[in-house]
């Protein structure tokens, strides 16, 4: 974490494409590691044929870059789950600035959020802190608790050193890559 991030200063994230293409969003840094533009561009190229009209959740929202990019490109709804109060508040402000009513922010921990009554999502972004919850456990929980719609797409991001997890049998790994310190993949739940 940089000193700037530790003080809660703002950083910015650029929306790559869609209705808000080129917009720079000022977001609270708060020790958050946003998904780099290059990786987001690759991910959304993968998702381009299927993103329109999808309902999604960004379980470790941070800057909100993944979920906002999805909304910009035509996702119907996005739920942002962020445990840091200041970051969640800023995400709400950004959605208001964009006049976006299709985004909803929950200021809670992803684990607590997943204990709620499940609603099936078509698209899930799993980008926890590299030293955070296990992606393998999160995938199992999402599938077993009813959080995934049939044929749901799940984006996984982790540190390159940790590597991507083994996925449960009911999952299909569609694509995977690495860039710098990040390993990332797109999977589909076949449950």
Beta strands, E only, 59-140 = 77-81, 103-106, 121-126
Question: Over 90: is that where the pLDDT of 8 sits?
Answer: no
Mean pLDDT of 47-74: 95
- What's 166's DSSP letter? P
Q: Which residue has the tokens 């999805």?
A: 70
Question: Over 70: is that where the pLDDT of 7 sits?
Answer: no
Mean pLDDT of 162-188: 89
Collect all residues with Cβ–Cβ distance below 8 Å to 80 and sequence separation of at least 6. Answer: 57, 58, 61, 64, 67, 88, 91, 103, 104, 105, 106
The predicted structure's pLDDT at residue 52: 96
Pairing of strands 24-28, 77-81: unpaired
Q: Quote the pTM value.
A: 0.90
The predicted structure's pLDDT at residue 168: 79
The predicted structure's pLDDT at residue 20: 94
The predicted structure's pLDDT at residue 36: 76
Question: Over 80: is that where the pLDDT of 116 sits?
Answer: yes
The predicted structure's pLDDT at residue 4: 40
């Amino acid at each position: 974490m940089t000193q700037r991030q530790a003080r809660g200063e703002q950083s910015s994230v650029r929306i790559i494409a869609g209705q808000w293409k080129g917009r720079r969003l000022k977001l609270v840094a708060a020790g958050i590691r946003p998904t780099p533009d290059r990786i987001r561009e690759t991910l959304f190229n993968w998702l381009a044929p299927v993103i329109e009209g999808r309902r999604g959740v960004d379980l470790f929202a941070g800057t909100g870059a993944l979920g906002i990019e999805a909304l910009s490109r035509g996702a119907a709804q996005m739920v942002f789950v962020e445990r840091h109060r200041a970051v969640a508040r800023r995400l709400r402000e950004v959605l208001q600035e964009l006049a976006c009513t299709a985004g909803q922010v929950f200021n809670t921990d992803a684990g607590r959020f997943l204990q709620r009554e499940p609603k099936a999502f078509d698209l899930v972004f799993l980008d926890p802190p590299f030293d955070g919850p296990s992606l393998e456990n999160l995938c199992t929980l999402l599938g077993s608790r009813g959080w995934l719609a049939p044929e749901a797409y799940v984006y996984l991001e982790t540190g390159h050193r940790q590597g991507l997890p083994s996925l449960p049998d009911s999952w299909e790994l569609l694509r995977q890559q690495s860039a710098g310190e990040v390993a990332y993949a797109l999977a589909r739940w076949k449950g």
